[in-house]
Amino acid sequence: MKLDLSTKPQVTVSLNPLLEAYCRFIFNTPAKQKEIIVSRTHDIGKLIHSNVVTSDLPVRRPFMDHPVTFILPVNPINRHSVYSHFLKVSNWGEQKIQDGIEYEYRKWVERRFEIGYEVKWSQKEIINAVLRGLNIRNNAANYDAVKKIDYRNRRKTEEKRFEMLLNSDY
């Protein structure tokens, strides 16, 4: 039985495929379901929900490279607004959503590296586990995108160590 989500309140934003995969993972979205049902119990759900505004007129969105549709939660406070108005996300709101999801994703990946390194996994094993866990194709671009997060995090750590050494009284 396929769930009909077409009557549910929804907004569409442009997200890169890694961030979409992360959202699908976070909200436990079935593989064949196009839309991602968000919950306000997660910070990403709150972020998306907080950047939605209503309009009395339909809003025509420009072409998006990678559109992702989010189904919004309905509660007694927003019920009237989401069913009696058109919903949209401004360009600035979309940028805030993208930045917020990217931040959450980077922190999540950094934590996967910490856990992986603690159990003595190699960088390659951790990257492959992250890509498989998010159900993302393991190609050079995706592999490098995850690897870059680890590289930047290690670089920050090295810079902090160097700063400590420079400021040491010994």
3 in a structural domain: no
Residue 5 domain flag: no
Is 44 among the domain residues? yes
User: Where does the pLDDT of residue 170 fall: very low under 50, low under 70, confident under 90, or very high at 90 and above?
Assistant: low
Is it the case that residue 50 has pLDDT exceeding 70? Answer: yes
Identify the domain containing residue 68 by its residue range: 10-166
> For the chain, how many structural domains are there in total?
1
Determine if residue 76 is left, alpha or beta; phi over 0 gives left, psi from -120 to 50 gives alpha, anything else beta.
alpha
Question: In sequence order, which residues have a C-beta less than 8 Å from that of residue 81 and are 6 or more positions away?
Answer: 54
Model's pTM, two decimal places?
Answer: 0.85
Per the domain annotation, does 4 fall within a domain? no
- Asked whether the predicted pLDDT for residue 2 surpasses 60, the reply is no
Looking at per-residue pLDDT, the higher value among 16 and 78 belongs to 16
Asked whether the beta carbons of 47 and 97 are under 8 A apart, the reply is yes
Confidence band, pLDDT 50/70/90 cuts, at residue 164 = confident
Q: Residue 143: its pLDDT value, please?
A: 93
Which residues make Cβ contacts (< 8 Å) with residue 48, sequence separation at least 6?
A: 11, 13, 38, 70, 72, 97
